[in-house]
Structure 1
Amino acid sequence: MSSDSDLTARARIRDAAIALFTERGIAGATIRDIAQAAGVSSGLLRHHFGSKEGLRDACDEFALARIAQVQTRFVGSQMLGPIPPDVLPLQQYLVRALMDGSPRSTEMFRRAVDQGEHLLGDLKVETGDLRAFVAVVGAMKMGMFLMRDQLSAVLGEDVGVPPGYLRILRASIEIFRQPLLTPEQADQAMRALDRISLHEGERP
């Protein structure tokens, strides 16, 4: 059975790994660097997580579970409250983890879409393809993090930390709260896509 100190060390290792994986990428952060940042030995890190791959799995699970918890609370209350201070670093970690393009990161995105599909399904979002809706919204949101340097340069402040992050959140809310197409334009575009799909289906 683990002692309280073991649990504290495990959390310190996990938090240090999340910070270094975000900063350097998965490949760029070594077991030794993570252990040093956490103030523990490499042996203790391996005792808790087995390997860097095991540590990454634990970081993925923690980040996904925490963000899902916040999203569930938001969907349940239908109110956007204060952003918990630990959420932004976890979002940045998940985006960095997805950037490596590995099967592991693809599976992580799949799970995030599964979670989003479950949450938005209860809201009865107006869409003919809920999974595609959730996946595209997720990719658009992650794009803000992937383009952190470009957004920061254009806006003149670091959007990876408050208040820059709050600024781009306000912009995203403004985008979502107003239609960029009239209902007529949207219907016309959908009919055009339906015609294209029909023609594609007729090809040999």
Structure 2
Amino acid sequence: MDRRLEDLTARARIRDAAVKLFGERGIEGASIRDIAAEAGVSSGLVRHHFGSKEALREACDAYARERMLEISAELASSDGVAALDPVTLHPRVFPLQLYLVRSMMDGSETATALFLGAVETIEEWSKGYGIDPQDRRAYAAALAAIKLSVFVFRDQISQALGEDMTSPSGYARIGQGMLDVFAIPIITQEQVDTLRKQEK
């Protein structure tokens, strides 16, 4: 194999291993040695490609953001419904979602910027679908946070489901549950109006 191609392949393996371990353990919980072992390379090679753990984290942030934007664009396309199959979507999306949520909790500006971008996207989407909340920005922020919360509470959700939420079947189940949450009203419009009057 060409040395340049071999280096590129090793760099990608290191990045993917870091995305996985950072997502599972957090930035502090995953060492360079752990990442090297996961990628099947030496710790020295990790430092050769990325220099430091913080630089590796920044590379992971940029990669995860780029891939999620690409996948979001794909899902928004005319054939995006077919791409929603949990069996094919899970291995592509779940590690990135888990990584970005953990990175956001660890204070990543890139991950936070992606969240704010999602809020803006939801705002525009709600306008296009004729959804008229009382406070559109708050609606978009709440919806984005609800979608991300399943990753924050993945251990508790796994216990509730009786199966690992990170598995394809567990991921599909919680995805269906989220669809039902959004599709099935739990209060009437009359109750909404009453609550809003009480808040004033």
TM-score, with structure 2 as normaliser: 0.82
The answer to whether the 8 A contact 1:21-1:28 is kept is yes
Given that residues 123 and 137 in structure 2 are in contact (C-alpha distance below 8 angstroms), is that contact kept between their aligned partners in structure 1? Answer: no
Match of 1:69 in 2: 70
Aligned mates of 1:174, 1:25 — CA distance in 2 = 30
Deviation at residue 14 of structure 1 after TM alignment: 0.3
* Equivalent residue letter for 2:40: G
TM-score normalised to structure 1 length: 0.80
Paired position in structure 2 for 1:38: 39
Q: Are the structure 2 counterparts of residues 122 and 43 from structure 1 closer, same or farther at C-alpha, using a change threshold of 3 Å?
A: same
The Cα of 1:51 is off from its aligned counterpart by 1.2
Distance verdict in 2 for CA 1:34–1:12, change over 3 Å: same
Among candidates 68, 79, 82, match of residue 81 of structure 2 = 79
Give the % identical residues.
46
Deviations 1:51-110 (CA, angstroms, capped at 9, x unpaired): 11111111112122222222233334373622422211111222222333x3x26x5224
For residues 161 and 98 of structure 2, the distance between their equivalents in structure 1, rounded to whole angstroms, comes to: 19
CA distance in 1, matches of 2:70, 2:126: 17
2:24–2:98: 8 Å Cα contact kept in structure 1?
no
Query: Do the aligned residues in 2 keep the contact of 1:117 with 1:130 (CA within 8 Å)?
Result: no
Judge which range, 24-33 or 39-48, deviates more. 39-48
Q: Secondary structure at the match of 2:76?
A: helix
Q: Give matches, 1:1-204, under 5 Å.
A: 3-77=4-78, 79=81, 81-83=84-86, 84=89, 85-100=91-106, 102=107, 104=108, 108-118=111-121, 120-124=123-127, 125-193=131-199, 195=200
User: How many angstroms apart in 2 are the aligned matches of 1:161 and 1:136?
Assistant: 26
Bigger drift between 68-77 and 139-148 goes to 68-77
Gaps of 5+ in 2: none
Whole-Å separation in 1 of the counterparts to 2:112 and 2:53: 20
2:118 counterpart letter in structure 1: Q
Deviation, structure 1 residue 122: 4.4
Larger RCO of the pair (alpha carbons < 8 Å, separation 6+): 2
Separation (CA, whole Å) in 2 of partners of 1:38 and 1:61? 19
User: For residues 68 and 132 of structure 1, what CA distance do their matches in structure 2 show?
Assistant: 22
Deviates more, 1:49-58 or 1:18-27: 18-27
